[in-house]
Amino acid sequence: MERKSCRVKWAEHFRTINHHKKLVMELCFKVGLYRQGLLHDLSKYTPTEFLVGAKYYQGTRSPNAAEREIKGYSSAWLHHKGRNKHHIEYWIDYGMGEKDTMVGMKMPVRYVVEMFCDRVAASKTYRGDKYTDADAYNYYLRSRDHYIIHPETDALLEKLLKMLRDHGEDFTLFYIRKCILGHHRDKQ
């Protein structure tokens, strides 16, 4: 297999993140999260994330996974998760319990919804023509054992991903807009 030039990988990575961002924006707009849809993942365009993403770009999965395999960590991911509130990792802190262990804090509902949109868009981006409404839920199940996540955040995310799997995108987005975001008015 011929190695792609850096210029081609940069262009393909740029196209991939633009495509993903567009899909998230469309999903966020459908549920009424206009500001979050516009601002979603802007840190991916910073040199810290973009240059690493272009270097490790493969097109079928996150470049962060490739960087992690080679270096033992992903500098782009460490930067990204600390700047984007729709990631559960942003919400990990020391608990108030006796042992002061790391725990997942309860995420504001609007960020759980953006996380849902992000996962659906990522599945569509990386699965392409093979995408089904079950993909985001299946990915969640494969990754769930290592999450540090608040139980209420986890329950809402799982509920929405199962709803997508069982009832489809239109039904789930309508439900989110009317029943989830219509009842939770988190401050912007």
pLDDT 10s digits, 34-84 = 999 999 999 999 999 999 999 999 878 889 999 999 999 999 999 999 999
Residues ≥6 apart with Cβ < 8 Å to 116 = 136, 157, 160, 161, 164, 176
Q: How far apart are CA 163 and CA 6, in angstroms?
A: 41
Each domain of the chain, given as residue ranges in start order, spans 6-180
Reading the block at residue 6, the tokens are: 């850096």
Reading the block at residue 30, the tokens are: 């459908």
Q: List, for residues 118-144, the tens digit of each pLDDT value.
A: 999 999 998 999 999 999 999 999 998
Position with higher pLDDT, 97 vs 114 = 114
Q: How far apart are CA 93 and CA 32, in angstroms?
A: 29
Reading the block at residue 145, the tokens are: 């054992």
Confidence (pLDDT) at 188: 42
124 vs 56, 117, 129, 156, 177, CA distance in Å? Answer: 20, 11, 8, 21, 21
Please give the model's pTM, rounded to 2 decimal places.
0.90
